[in-house]
């Protein structure tokens, strides 16, 4: 066993999103372009970036749109209708998403078991250690700003709709075979923070998260 510094570390965010209202929805007159709130869009089986319209489900006011009637640019999550939907239409997308935090500055993970020491009279050390609720949380920080982080907080800030769950894959020593891997499931995000410091420091974006499970494994 040897110590290591984290330059090889990587973080991957992944999710399978169902009927998420797109950026740009509801539509205005003659509008044809909309964007997914997370990107890039990937094939749900291979997790590779895809422009294949059959790998997503687009709906116009709840009615599925034929894959022949729009184009998908997976790298940016862009949907372009061949003919504009009516003004006021709610446009939703079911899709898969996977993104490696290529310009991450840092990532923290905390698992807190909620331990509580029980003390009794005439004894300085704890009589018993009780276990409480387990909390799995962390944060991500990156240098390059995009709509991806803020797009995860709520599908639509004006709608009473919760976040879809995501997964986070952590590769602290890189993603080569045999290296450790941690999978955090049931992830939801909050809070989001944009830091704009003085002229000599870089602008950063950070995002907090909580999860329901964390599973250690090794990279196959």
Task: Give residue-wise pLDDT tens across range 155-179.
Answer: 555 566 677 888 999 988 888 899 9
For the segment 122-130, the average pLDDT, to the nearest whole number, is: 94
For residue 155, the model assigns a pLDDT of 56
For residue 156, the model assigns a pLDDT of 58
* pLDDT category of residue 92 using cuts at 50, 70 and 90: very high
For the segment 181-190, the average pLDDT, to the nearest whole number, is: 92
Partner residues linked to 118 by β-bridges = 128
CA 70 to CA 67: how far, in whole Å? 6
For residue 74, the model assigns a pLDDT of 96
| Mean confidence (pLDDT) of the chain | 88
Q: The dihedral of CA 81, 17, 42, 108: what is its sign?
A: positive
For residue 29, the model assigns a pLDDT of 93
Percent of the chain exceeding pLDDT 70 equals 92
* Least confident window among 26-40, 102-116, 127-141, 156-170: 156-170
Phi, psi of 54 (to 5 degrees): -75, -10
* pLDDT category of residue 102 using cuts at 50, 70 and 90: low
Task: Give residue-wise pLDDT tens across range 189-214.
Answer: 988 888 888 888 888 888 899 999 99
Residue 55 has pLDDT above 70, yes or no: yes
* pLDDT category of residue 145 using cuts at 50, 70 and 90: confident
Residue 3 has pLDDT above 70, yes or no: no
CA 11 to CA 44: how far, in whole Å? 19
CB 174 within 8 A of CB 11: no
**DSSP 8-state assignment for residue 25:** P
CB 20 within 8 A of CB 155: yes
For residue 11, the model assigns a pLDDT of 85
């Amino acid at each position: 066993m040897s110590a290591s510094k984290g330059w090889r570390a990587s973080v991957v965010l992944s999710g399978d999103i169902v009927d998420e209202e797109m950026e740009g929805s509801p539509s205005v007159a003659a509008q044809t372009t909309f964007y997914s709130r997370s990107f890039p869009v990937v094939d749900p089986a291979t997790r590779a970036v895809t422009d294949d319209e059959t790998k997503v489900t687009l709906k116009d006011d709840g009615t599925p749109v034929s894959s022949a009637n729009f184009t998908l640019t997976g790298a940016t999550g862009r949907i372009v209708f061949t003919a504009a939907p009516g003004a006021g239409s709610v446009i939703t997308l079911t899709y898969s998403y996977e993104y490696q935090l290529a310009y991450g500055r840092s990532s923290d993970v905390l698992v807190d078991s909620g331990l509580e020491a029980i003390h009794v009279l005439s004894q300085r050390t704890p009589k018993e250690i009780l276990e409480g609720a387990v909390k799995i949380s962390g944060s991500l920080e990156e240098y390059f700003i995009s709509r991806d982080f803020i797009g995860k907080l709520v599908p639509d800030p004006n709608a009473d709709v919760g976040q879809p769950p995501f997964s986070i894959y952590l590769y602290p020593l890189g993603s080569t075979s045999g290296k450790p891997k941690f999978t955090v499931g049931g992830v939801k995000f909050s809070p989001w923070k944009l830091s704009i410091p003085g002229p000599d420091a870089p602008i950063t974006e950070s995002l907090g998260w909580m999860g329901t499970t964390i599973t250690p494994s090794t990279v196959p």
